[in-house]
C-alpha cells in the first residue's frame, strides 16, 4: 500500500471508515450506559463482531456509545486478535474497563501487518483514544536550509513544509541550536543569510560583510564560482566531511602565510576557529555514528519520560523530552513501541535508532519505518561500547527530567489542594479556567480563557474570543453593548464558551469542563458570570473572582466568592502567589491577543473597501501615490494614469472617496 493509499484509508476511517465488521446497531435510547451495561455488554458486542471478521491484517477501533474511539489497535490476523477481547478473564483490568465501555467495533483491512502498523499510528494521532499510548507532539523541528534556486544560495533556518528547492539539514532540537550553528557557519563559510529581495537591492556591502560573516556576493566581492565553492564546503561540513575541509583550510592558511599574505591567512584562521567552535558546542560526537536518533525511556510513579537525542553526521543536534500519556500498568517496552511509530509519522527517519529498551515488535517497527522512509532502518538496543554510553546518557537525562517534572507536579498538587481548602471546594480542582478581557478604549476587544491543572498550564486548551457584541462590531449596526463594557464582554465570552460546551458534551464526560472558573475582576464580574451560568443551567460550577487590592497593589488582592465576604489572604501565602500567577498569565494572553488583533486591523487599508480593487490594483495605487489617504485625494485623471486601472475602476475609486461631496 502506497503512502497515498494510506492517507486515503485514514481519511475514509475518519469519515466512518471501511466497516468490515460492526456490532449490531442500537437506537441511542436503547444503549445501556457504561456503568449499567458493564463487561457483559461489551463482550457480547465484540463476540458478535468477531463472527464476520476476516483472518487478514488490519486495524480495529473500539467505539463507545457515542461513536468515539476508545482504542485503536493493529493485528496480523484481525479475527484472532479481536477474539481475545471476548475473554475478559484473561485481560488486565485496564482492558476490562475498555471492553465494558465498548458497544461497537470498526475495522479497516490492509495488505500487510506493516501497513496496519502505519495506519494504526495515523488513526491514533487523529482520534486520540483514551486507552492508547498518546504522543501529544505539536511542535515542528527546525532545520538549516541552503537554497537551491539561486545563483548565490542563502543559508537560513527553516520550519514547516519543504516547498523551496534546496538542501535541508537537521532536525535540530531547538531554534537556539540552529541559530548558533548558522552563526558559526556564516563565520566559517561566509554564506549570505539575507533574503533574495535584500540581496537584489544592495549597492554596497552590509554589516555582515564588515564583521566577516558574509563574502558579499551581492556586490561582486566574490565570484559565482568562488561562492559556489564556499557553498560546497558548507554542504560537505553538514554531511560529515568536516575533517577534509579543515585540512584544506589549514593548507590554504599555511600557503598564504608563506606568501606573506597575512591578511588572507587571518581569514582562513578565523574560518578554522569557527569550525572548531561548532564542534566544541557538541557535547557528544561520534564520527562513526552517522545519522541516528537515541531514544531512552525512564518510568517512575506511573509516568514515563522519553528523551530523544538527534545525531546527524556524527554530531549532536540537541535533545528533546516527551511525556506520553499512557496507562500506569504499561511497561517501557510497550510505551516505546507506540511512541516510536507515532513520533516518526511526520518526521524524517534516520538509518539507525538506538533505544534503551527493546520495544515490542522491534523488527516489525523497523520494517514499517523503512517502508515509510524509503531506506533501511535499524532499531537497536546496544549493550556495550560507545553506543551503549550514548543510550545510558540519554536515559540519565530522561530520569533527571522526570524527577524534576514530578517535583513540580507535587508542588502544583499541593497548591491546588491549598486552593481547594481556601475556596471551600470539595476536592483539589483538576481543571481551572481563568478568564480576562483586553481592549484599548473599547477598540479591538478580546476575551481569553487560559487553563491550568495538576501538570501546570495546558496551553493547547487556551482560547481567545474576539468580542462580537460591542456596538462598533455589531453586524446589524444596532443593539450590542457599549465599547469597553467589561461586564458585558465577560458575559459574552462565558456564554459562548459554555453554550458550545453544552452542545458538544452535555453529559460532561470529556474532561473539558472546569472544576473552578477564576475571573480577573471583582464582585461585578462575578455577578455577571453567575447570571450567565444560571441562564444555562450550570449553577453548580464553582466560580471565584480575584480583584487587585487598594491602589492595585499586588499582595492585597481580594477574592470574591458567591454568598461570602471577600477573602483576603496573607501577603506571603503560597496560594495567593499561585492565584496571582494564574491571573497574570490570563492577563498576558489577553493583552497579546488584543495587540495581535489591533495590528491586523491597522494593516487593513481603506482601499480594501473599494469595489473592484484587489491586491494587484491596491499595490499599483500605493506604489503610485504612497498611501491610501493620497489615493483618496487623487483626481480622476490621476487615477486613470495608474497602470492596470481602467477608466471604470478609476471612476469607482473616485466615487467611493467622494460620495458625500
In SS3 terms, 516-536 reads as EEEEECCHHHHHHHHHHHHHC
Q: Round to whole Å and give the CA distance between 391 and 336.
A: 14
**What pLDDT score was predicted for residue 233?**
86
3-state secondary structure of 209: helix
Cell numbers describing residue 100: 465494558
Identical fold for domains 432-601 and 606-657, yes or no, is no
Dihedrals φ, ψ of 62, to 5°?
-85, 130
Tell me the pLDDT tens digit for each residue of 428-444.
999 999 999 887 766 77
- Give CA separation, 437 vs 270, 376, 434, 447, 591, in Å: 53, 54, 11, 4, 8
Q: Residue 187: which of 223, 233, 148 has the closest Cα?
A: 233
- Give CA separation, 208 vs 26, 186, 603, in Å: 71, 9, 31
Q: Where are the domains of the chain?
A: 3-127, 143-280, 292-403, 432-601, 606-657
Tell me the pLDDT tens digit for each residue of 151-192.
999 999 998 888 889 999 888 888 888 888 888 888 888 999
The DSSP call for residue 349 is -
In terms of DSSP H, where are the helices of 295-384? 332-343, 362-373
Q: Is the Cβ–Cβ distance between 625 and 634 less than 8 Å?
A: yes
Helices 486-504 & 523-535, crossing angle to 10 degrees? 30
Compute the chain's Rg from CA coordinates: 31
Sort 475 into a burial class: Cβ within 10 Å, 0-12 / 13-18 / 19+: exposed
Sort 602 into a burial class: Cβ within 10 Å, 0-12 / 13-18 / 19+: exposed
Fold that domain 432-601 belongs to in CATH: Nucleotidyltransferase; domain 5 (3.30.420)
**Which residues, in sequence order, are CB contacts of 532 under 8 Å at separation 6+?**
491, 494, 495, 498
**Which residues, in sequence order, are CB contacts of 233 under 8 Å at separation 6+?**
189, 245, 248
- Domain 3-127's class? alpha beta
Q: Is the Cβ–Cβ distance between 409 and 547 less than 8 Å?
A: no
Q: Is the Cβ–Cβ distance between 596 and 628 less than 8 Å?
A: no
Predicted TM-score of the model (pTM): 0.66
The CATH code belonging to domain 606-657 is: 1.10.150.20
For residue 579, the surrounding DSSP H or E stretch is helix 574-603
Rounded to 5°, angle at Cα 11 from 9 and 14: 110
**What pLDDT score was predicted for residue 1?**
46
In terms of DSSP H, where are the helices of 128-219? 175-189, 196-201, 207-210
Low-confidence ranges of the chain (pLDDT < 50): 1-36, 281-283, 474-479, 603
Fold that domain 292-403 belongs to in CATH: Nucleotidyltransferase; domain 5 (3.30.420)
**What pLDDT score was predicted for residue 602?**
55
Amino acid at each position: 500500500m502506497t503512502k497515498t493509499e494510506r492517507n486515503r484509508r485514514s481519511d475514509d476511517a475518519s469519515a466512518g471508515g471501511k466497516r468490515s465488521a460492526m456490532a449490531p446497531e442500537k437506537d441511542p435510547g436503547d444503549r445501556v450506559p457504561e456503568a449499567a451495561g458493564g463487561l457483559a455488554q461489551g463482550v457480547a458486542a465484540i463476540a458478535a463482531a468477531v463472527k464476520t471478521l476476516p483472518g487478514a491484517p488490519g486495524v480495529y477501533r473500539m467505539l463507545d456509545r457515542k461513536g468515539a474511539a476508545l482504542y485503536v489497535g493493529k493485528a496480523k490476523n484481525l479475527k484472532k486478535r479481536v477474539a481475545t477481547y471476548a475473554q475478559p478473564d484473561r485481560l488486565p483490568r485496564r482492558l476490562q474497563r475498555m471492553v465494558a465501555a465498548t458497544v461497537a467495533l470498526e475495522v479497516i483491512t490492509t495488505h500487510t501487518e506493516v501497513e496496519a502498523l502505519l495506519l494504526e499510528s495515523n488513526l491514533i494521532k487523529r482520534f486520540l483514544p483514551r486507552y492508547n499510548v498518546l504522543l501529544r507532539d505539536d511542535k515542528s523541528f527546525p532545520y538549516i536550509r541552503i537554497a537551491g534556486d539561486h545563483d548565490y544560495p542563502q543559508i537560513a533556518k527553516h520550519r514547516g513544509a519543504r516547498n523551496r528547492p534546496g538542501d535541508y539539514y537537521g532536525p535540530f532540537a531547538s531554534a537556539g541550536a540552529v541559530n548558533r550553528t548558522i552563526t558559526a557557519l556564516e563565520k566559517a563559510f561566509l554564506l549570505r543569510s539575507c533574503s533574495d529581495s535584500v540581496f537584489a537591492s544592495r549597492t554596497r556591502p552590509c554589516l555582515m560583510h564588515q564583521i566577516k560573516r558574509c563574502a558579499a556576493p551581492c556586490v561582486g566581492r566574490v565570484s559565482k564560482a568562488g561562492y559556489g565553492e564556499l557553498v560546497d564546503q558548507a554542504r560537505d561540513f553538514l554531511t560529515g566531511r568536516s575533517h577534509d575541509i579543515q585540512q584544506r583550510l589549514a593548507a590554504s592558511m599555511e600557503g598564504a602565510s608563506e606568501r606573506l599574505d597575512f591578511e588572507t591567512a587571518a581569514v582562513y584562521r578565523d574560518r578554522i576557529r569557527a569550525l572548531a567552535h561548532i564542534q566544541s558546542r557538541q557535547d557528544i560526537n561520534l564520527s562513526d555514528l552517522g545519522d541516528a536518533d537515541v531514544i531512552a525511556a525512564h518510568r517512575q510513579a506511573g509516568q514515563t519520560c522519553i528523551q530523544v537525542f538527534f545525531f546527524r553526521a556524527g554530531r549532536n543536534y540537541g535533545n528533546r523530552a516527551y511525556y506520553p500519556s499512557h496507562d500506569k500498568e504499561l511497561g517501557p517496552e510497550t510505551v516505546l513501541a507506540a511512541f516510536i511509530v507515532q513520533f516518526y509519522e511526520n518526521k524524517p527517519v534516520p538509518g539507525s535508532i538506538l533505544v534503551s529498551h527493546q520495544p515490542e515488535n522491534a523488527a516489525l517497527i523497523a520494517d514499517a519505518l523503512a517502508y515509510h522512509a524509503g531506506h533501511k532502518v535499524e532499531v537497536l538496543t546496544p549493550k556495550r561500547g560507545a553506543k551503549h554510553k550514548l543510550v545510558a546518557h540519554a536515559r540519565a537525562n530522561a530520569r533527571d527530567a522526570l524527577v524534576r517534572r514530578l517535583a513540580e507536579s507535587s508542588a502544583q498538587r499541593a497548591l491546588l489542594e491549598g486552593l481547594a481548602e481556601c475556596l471551600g471546594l470539595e476536592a483539589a480542582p483538576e481543571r481551572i479556567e481563568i478568564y480576562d478581557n483586553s481592549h484599548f478604549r473599547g477598540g479591538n476587544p478580546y476575551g481569553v480563557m487560559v487553563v491550568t491543572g495538576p501538570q501546570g498550564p495546558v496551553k493547547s486548551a487556551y482560547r481567545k474570543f474576539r468580542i462580537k457584541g460591542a456596538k462598533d462590531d455589531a453586524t446589524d449596526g444596532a443593539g450590542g453593548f457599549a465599547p469597553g463594557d467589561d461586564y458585558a464582554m465577560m458575559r459574552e465570552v462565558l456564554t459562548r464558551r459554555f453554550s458550545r460546551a453544552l452542545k458538544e458534551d452535555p453529559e460532561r464526560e470529556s474532561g473539558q469542563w472546569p472544576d473552578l472558573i477564576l475571573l480577573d475582576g471583582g464582585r461585578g464580574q462575578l455577578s455577571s458570570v453567575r447570571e450567565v451560568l444560571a441562564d444555562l443551567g450550570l449553577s453548580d460550577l464553582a466560580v471565584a473572582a480575584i480583584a487587585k487590592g487598594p491602589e492595585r497593589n499586588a499582595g492585597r488582592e481580594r477574592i470574591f466568592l458567591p454568598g461570602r465576604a471577600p477573602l483576603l489572604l496573607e501577603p506571603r501565602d503560597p496560594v495567593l502567589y499561585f492565584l496571582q500567577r494564574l491571573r497574570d498569565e490570563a492577563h498576558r494572553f489577553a493583552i497579546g491577543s488584543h495587540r495581535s488583533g489591533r495590528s491586523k486591523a491597522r494593516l487593513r487599508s481603506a482601499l480594501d473597501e473599494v469595489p473592484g480593487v484587489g491586491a494587484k490594483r491596491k499595490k499599483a495605487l500605493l506604489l503610485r501615490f504612497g498611501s491610501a489617504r493620497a489615493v483618496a485625494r487623487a483626481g480622476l485623471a490621476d487615477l486613470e494614469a495608474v497602470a492596470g486601472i481602467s477608466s471604470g475602476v478609476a471612476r469607482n475609486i473616485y466615487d467611493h472617496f467622494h460620495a458625500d461631496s
